[in-house]
Amino acid sequence: MHNHQEEQISQGNITYFIYLSILLVLFAFVFIELAGHVQADELKHFDYRVIELIQGQITPKWTALMKLITFFGGIKWTVFAIAISAILFSFYKKRYALYMIVTCCLGGAFNLLLKDWFHRERPNFFQLIVESGYSFPSGHSMGSFILYSAIAIVLVKISRKTVVDILIIVLFAFLVLAIGISRIYLGVHYPSDVVAGFAAGGFWVCLCTLALNYYEFRMKKQHF
């Protein structure tokens, strides 16, 4: 009986590991490709066309909404969300709280390293808010992808209900996408910054989740 259970756990973890590894490679590939095109200055046409399309919708009401949306990808909200989710997850399993803190905090440091490496200046036209620092990859896009993906992963692990899992993933995916669009609308990022932020965030989340899964696999193995 124990051998059968152990075999099921091993197969499930191997499958999950393969899926995460594939996603990790895909995210890395997208980021590297984008970074190469940005450094070669080959994405201006794409960036300007998308900016023109999105900023062509500017109205006072849209601007107020986009400022609200972008707040949910900012540093103040992110720190608050990390703290609250880590506290709540710690009541269930302390490793989930640690996963949240490590994934999000080190992910923020990773973003700063990438920005400093690429030194891309922000767009210099029609900014609706003032931002400082380098542009590539977008910190809001990368940070929100990491934050909400990490929360979703833990919630999915806890709930284990397909309908709830799907709702969580769809809700957070919509929010992350909206935050990315808000950065373009507000004129503080190029579209390529946003896409690169999503790709870098996805890579980082996959890497940290692989580490969490390996730890959980080792823990389960010790019980047999």
pTM: 0.90
Q: Do the beta carbons of residue 189 and residue 123 sit within 8 Å?
A: yes
Distance CA 11, CA 160 (A): 18
Residues 113, 139: contact at Cβ < 8 Å? no
Each residue's pLDDT, cut to its tens digit, for the chain (224 residues) gives 445 444 544 565 778 788 999 999 999 999 999 999 999 889 989 999 999 999 988 899 999 999 999 999 999 999 999 999 999 999 888 899 999 999 999 999 999 999 999 999 999 878 889 888 899 999 999 999 999 999 999 998 888 777 888 898 999 999 999 999 999 999 999 999 999 999 999 999 999 999 998 888 777 766 55
* Three-state SS sequence of 54-82: HHCCCCHHHHHHHHHHHHCCCHHHHHHHH
User: Which tokens go with 191?
Assistant: 């579209």
Residues 103 and 150: beta-carbon distance below 8 Å = yes
In Å, how far from its chain's centre is CA 197?
Answer: 7
